[in-house]
Structure 1
């Protein structure tokens, strides 16, 4: 783990092959198919073939394992410390794009960066590939090291040709500092790309977003560590947990 953490400290991201088993990947994809059929109105269809659901956990308990993933939890806790907590969960689909426009819109999430070395990570994001990703498909892409300081430079000050367009088989996880410059790299491809995205913060810090409603089954009657992970809810989750 020390080598992995050293890589993250320098680059602000880390690739974990086989973080999900093939059985877990198949379960996740089947559950997403079911949700698209049963709850299509809860999906947001955006530009350039991107669809997203931020509340699939409400209806699909079979995806609960993806919000507190045991395979990468030790790394998550090492980067974020003992006060790590859940912040956001979503599923994203990028449709095949044989002849349409391409794009790679570089950005930082609006959460702000961290100030504490060696990881400088205020919020941690995890991306799971649910489909194989290679040079012929859409990718998740990052600019290595672009948030690994207390005073990151502007996007236009980085050489974006040195970006890493991350490839990996279905089941791969990418841990990254959420303030790292990143993008969804939309290519001309005949392949659909599926991903699960989650964000984690610190119990003592502000929530990163107010989109995902976390159902109470995630923490009720669970062990103390799990309860702590879900103890700093975003406002919409807190309101529903208190009133319903």
Structure 2
């Protein structure tokens, strides 16, 4: 635990390998497949640029299936999450995501030595909102955990992240009105020699340096500071990637909607909407 906390503090993320058993992986994947078969209307893809992906969010998803009940506060990471964010931490969101095979061709201008990469849309969640981050030693206002439910390597889609310490996040410029958010993200970690990159779908954005592509076996989980720069690395691949995203934060400050999705205005609102089953609703 101490090693993981230290790594998280220095890098803004940590990977917990073999967090799930093969039985747990199968339970989740089979449960989601059953939900897709029974409720296909909830798994319709919206408009996307060049590649196919679809996700479903809690609370609705948790009302339709029991397969994710053990994932909301999974013991492989719950002590870690609580050690970072403190007592009173609650789940504030959950999304199951499919990223489907993609046969698009990579651009001639390869990004960061990754010959299969088609796209990277770098971002900090919630515009870099760090409300309440000063309350803990890790300068973390919210945590996102991404469970890999398929083996992930350089031949398929993955999550990528730029290491950034708590000390660095404290020192970054922030907004002075409204929610406290990190500013200057557009120019952060940009390659000074080739600052822009056009992806396979014609979108231009900053070419970032220093990234880590998180490749790991099914059952591993990436735990990261929600304000860290990260993205989905979309690759030319014939393989499906399934992942479960779970978000955590403190209920305070109530006025801040970080790590929450519409229509929920607070952690309490989200918790009230969850099924009243053991291990899911805690508020």
TM-score (norm 2): 0.74
- 1:66 correspondence with 2:66: no
Q: Distance in 1 between matches of 2:225 and 2:162?
A: 11
Paired residues of 1:97 and 1:189 also in contact (CA < 8 A): yes
Paired residues of 1:115 and 1:149 also in contact (CA < 8 A): no
Q: 1:176 to 1:40 in 2, by over 3 A?
A: same
Q: Distance in 1 between matches of 2:99 and 2:161?
A: 17
Shift of 1:205: 2.7
Q: Which has the larger radius of gyration?
A: 2
Deviations 1:36-88 (A, max 9, x none): 11112223524121100003211011211111111111101111110101100
The structure with the largest helix share of the pair is 1
Runs of 4+ more than 6 Å apart = none
TM-score (norm 1): 0.85
Residue equivalent to 2:121: 105
Query: Which structure 2 segments of 5+ residues have no match?
Result: 107-117, 173-182, 191-207, 265-269
- 1:215 correspondence with 2:271: no
* Superposition pairs of residues 33-48 of structure 1, within 5 angstroms: 33-46=33-46, 47=48, 48=51
Shift of 1:151: 4.1
- 1:85 correspondence with 2:90: yes
Query: Which structure 1 segments of 5+ residues have no match?
Result: 232-244
Aligned length: 224
RMSD (Å) for aligned C-alpha atoms: 2.0
Q: 1:195 aligns with which of 227, 240, 243?
A: 243
* Superposition pairs of residues 126-137 of structure 1, within 5 angstroms: 126-137=145-156
Q: Distance in 2 between matches of 1:122 and 1:176?
A: 11
Residue equivalent to 1:50: 53
Paired residues of 1:83 and 1:202 also in contact (CA < 8 A): yes
Larger displacement relative to structure 2 (5-14 or 144-153): 144-153
Shift of 1:218: 3.2
Residue equivalent to 1:177: 225
Larger displacement relative to structure 2 (89-98 or 47-56): 47-56
Residue equivalent to 2:204: none
